[in-house]
């Protein structure tokens, strides 16, 4: 008998254009002790489905269908309230925003115990300590009185899991629990979830956009798109033998399945050289300094695709901004074709600005919301006096062709474009000045995998056609492995290791790189390991 049975669930939101169906006729069962993965891209309805189970949707949502938990019909708010927190718990994507900054860690975990079981403060505290230990928080006793802001992202997620597990629920809903975390931290959380499932038979529904994550710990998976379930089955069957065309597309777009796009060449001349570059900031409180980047030496060669990987806070973006001269280094020098970038001024600086361009991480924030796609792409051309305004607008259309953006989108503003389309506009704008070096800073990390695959293909094509040198910054090792000729690994503001991509992945020379490679979720690898 199944623990949860969802039958014909539908969720509709009112909008100015009339009702919008976020979830349509979704049915699935959860057997006790299994981990069900719900995978889909943005807007697929996976999170809404998960929240409907716990009655966490906004009031204006209309919910249809039946949800049965352990023989009980969860059709009304009272029925849901009876199981919420006690039998069904949930953890969320952003642990930081789901912890009350004015409550200590211990109180967070003790609160549900006092509320649901009426334990005394001392009893609840003792129980909370055990829970924190069970989610493998080191030195839990001394962390009990810590505040959320004193913990790292991974620790916060562990606290959230502990408080979700406080009442020994039978079902845990996890909505993208590791998406906001670094890969090494993600690996730890996934391991914890797997252990909880094995040791205490906790049933789980794991919502994720990442098939790699799903493949690591789920038994069965349902694939959602546009509010509907298009395929479901055991993870192995779905991955090895997908039935639906979209599932095949999704699997083919996994970074691990992408074709090898890098083509290492024989060492040509250097284009950008960083010599002992350091960027230090004073800390907020004054006093100390933050070493965002420290003692970095590296050389990017003409025509290559150079990857910079690292976790959050590793200084990889700061390096990029230093090369573009958005940040002035506090020590060392950035050399471009043998000239020190910091010394450039006047016409030389303008020439440098043209030669080095950057594409940014956030598809929407990197475009001025008040300008159309065409205006955005044309602006650098006429501002640099390379063409008249009308000729620049004409040229912008050609650039749109180049990045495979239909000309009919020319008059659209960012809000009327999708993430992938915005990113194409950003790339076209960067190419408008015919740069020789293109810096791409996490350009695909906010995009769905299928869109990511398209953008990577586009960048590869442009790189060949325009003889571009590319610096590709990413936290995703699997993408870098497919896309870059050489890689530099950053950690805590320092360059840990650098080398040809194939060599570095085959035989990493530092432990950190080894951990990073091992932690990167990869669908095929996960399946192989579970076999």
Partner 1 sequence: MTDLASTASVHPAAPRFRHGTIEAALGAALLLAWLIAAVGAGVFAPYDPNALDLVAMLAPPDGVHWFGTDHLGRDVFSRVIYGARIDIWMGFAGVIAPLVVGVTVGLIAGYFGGLTDTILMRILDITVAFPFFILVIAIVGVLGPGLVNYIIALALVAWVAYARLVRAEVLVVKRLEYVQAARALGFSDFVIILRHVLPNVLGSITIYAWTDAVMVILAGASLGFLGLGAQPPTAEWGVMIADGQPYVLQAWWICLFPGIAMVTLSLGFILVSDGLSRRLRVSS
Residues making contact with partner 1 (CB under 8 A): 16-17, 249, 321, 324, 326, 349-350, 353-354, 356-358, 360-362, 365-370, 379-380, 383-384, 404-406, 412, 416-421, 426, 429, 433, 448, 450-451, 454
Cβ at position 429, least distance to partner 1 in Å: 7
Q: Give whichever of 16 and 511 is closer to partner 1, judged by the CB atom.
A: 16
What's the rounded Cα separation, in Å, for the pair 15 and 35? 34
Q: Give whichever of 56 and 355 is closer to partner 1, judged by the CB atom.
A: 355
Q: Give whichever of 416 and 528 is closer to partner 1, judged by the CB atom.
A: 416
Q: Give whichever of 112 and 255 is closer to partner 1, judged by the CB atom.
A: 255
Q: Give whichever of 71 and 406 is closer to partner 1, judged by the CB atom.
A: 406
Q: Give whichever of 15 and 285 is closer to partner 1, judged by the CB atom.
A: 15
Q: What HEC string does 462-484 produce?
A: HHHHHCCEEEEEECCHHHHHHHC
How many whole angstroms from its chain centre is CA 403?
A: 23
Cβ at position 255, least distance to partner 1 in Å: 17
Q: Give whichever of 125 and 412 is closer to partner 1, judged by the CB atom.
A: 412
Sheet with 203-208, edge to edge strand ranges = 88-91, 171-175, 203-208, 35-39, 220-225, 228-234
Q: Give whichever of 244 and 321 is closer to partner 1, judged by the CB atom.
A: 321
Residue 148 is classified by DSSP as: G
| Tokens, residue 161 | 């899991």
| SS3 (DSSP) at 368 | coil
First to last CA, the chain: 27
Cβ at position 364, least distance to partner 1 in Å: 9
Cβ at position 150, least distance to partner 1 in Å: 25
The contacts of residue 481 (CB under 8 Å, 6+ apart) are 255, 487, 501, 505
Cβ at position 296, least distance to partner 1 in Å: 20
Cβ at position 345, least distance to partner 1 in Å: 12
Residue 90 is classified by DSSP as: E
> Look-up: residue for tokens 């325009």?
466
How many whole angstroms from its chain centre is CA 55?
A: 27
Cβ at position 382, least distance to partner 1 in Å: 11
Cβ at position 156, least distance to partner 1 in Å: 24
The contacts of residue 127 (CB under 8 Å, 6+ apart) are 110, 113, 119, 166
The backbone torsions φ and ψ at residue 522, rounded to the nearest 5 degrees and listed phi first, read -140, 125
**Distances in Å between the alpha carbon of 501 and those of 111, 264, 438, 483, 497?**
49, 9, 19, 9, 11
């Amino acid at each position: 008998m199944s623990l949860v049975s969802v039958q014909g669930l539908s969720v509709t939101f009112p909008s100015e254009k009339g009702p919008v169906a976020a979830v349509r006729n979704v049915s699935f069962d959860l057997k006790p002790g299994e981990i069900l993965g719900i995978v889909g891209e943005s807007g697929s309805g996976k999170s809404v489905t998960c929240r409907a189970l716990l009655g966490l949707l906004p009031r204006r949502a209309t919910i249809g269908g039946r949800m049965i938990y352990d023989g009980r019909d969860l059709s009304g708010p009272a029925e849901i309230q009876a199981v919420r927190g006690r039998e069904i718990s949930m953890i969320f994507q952003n642990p930081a925003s789901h912890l009350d900054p004015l409550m200590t860690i211990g109180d967070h975990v003790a609160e549900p115990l006092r509320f649901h079981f009426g334990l005394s403060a001392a009893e609840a505290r003792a129980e909370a300590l055990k829970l924190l230990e069970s989610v493998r928080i080191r030195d839990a006793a001394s962390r009990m009185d810590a505040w959320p802001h004193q913990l790292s992202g991974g620790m916060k997620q562990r606290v959230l899991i502990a408080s979700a597990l406080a009442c020994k629920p039978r079902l845990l809903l996890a909505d993208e629990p590791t998406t906001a975390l670094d890969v090494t931290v993600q690996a730890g959380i996934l391991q914890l979830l797997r252990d909880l499932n094995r040791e205490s038979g906790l049933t789980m529904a794991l919502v994720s956009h990442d098939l790699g994550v799903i493949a690591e710990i789920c038994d069965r998976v349902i694939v959602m798109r546009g509010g509907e379930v298009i395929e479901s089955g055991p993870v192995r069957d779905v991955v090895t033998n997908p039935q639906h065309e979209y599932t095949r597309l999704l699997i083919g777009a996994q970074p691990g399945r992408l074709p090898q796009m890098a083509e290492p060449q024989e060492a040509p001349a250097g284009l950008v050289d960083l010599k002992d570059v350091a960027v230090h900031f004073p800390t907020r409180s004054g006093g100390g300094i933050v070493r965002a980047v420290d003692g970095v030496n590296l050389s990017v060669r003409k025509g290559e695709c150079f990857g910079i990987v690292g976790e959050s806070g590793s200084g990889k973006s700061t390096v990029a901004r230093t090369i573009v001269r958005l940040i002035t280094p506090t020590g060392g020098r950035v050399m471009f074709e043998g000239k020190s970038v910091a010394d450039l001024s006047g016409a030389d600086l303008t020439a440098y600005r043209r030669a080095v361009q950057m594409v940014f991480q956030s598809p929407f924030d990197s475009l001025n919301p008040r300008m159309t796609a065409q205006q955005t792409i044309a602006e650098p051309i006429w501002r640099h006096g390379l063409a008249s305004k009308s000729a620049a607008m004409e040229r912008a259309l050609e650039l749109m062709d180049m990045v495979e953006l239909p000309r009919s989108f020319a008059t659209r503003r960012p809000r009327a474009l999708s993430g992938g389309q915005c990113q194409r506009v950003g790339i076209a704008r960067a190419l408008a000045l015919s740069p020789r070096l293109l810096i791409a800073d996490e350009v695909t990390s906010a995009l769905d995998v299928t869109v990511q695959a398209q953008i990577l293909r586009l960048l590869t094509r442009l790189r060949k056609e325009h003889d571009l040198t590319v610096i590709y910054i990413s936290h995703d090792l699997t993408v870098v492995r497919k896309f870059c000729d050489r890689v530099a690994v950053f950690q805590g503001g320092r360059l840990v290791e650098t080398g040809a991509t194939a060599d570095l992945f085959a035989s990493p020379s530092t432990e950190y790189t080894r951990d990073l490679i091992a932690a990167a979720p990869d669908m095929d690898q996960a399946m192989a390991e579970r076999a």
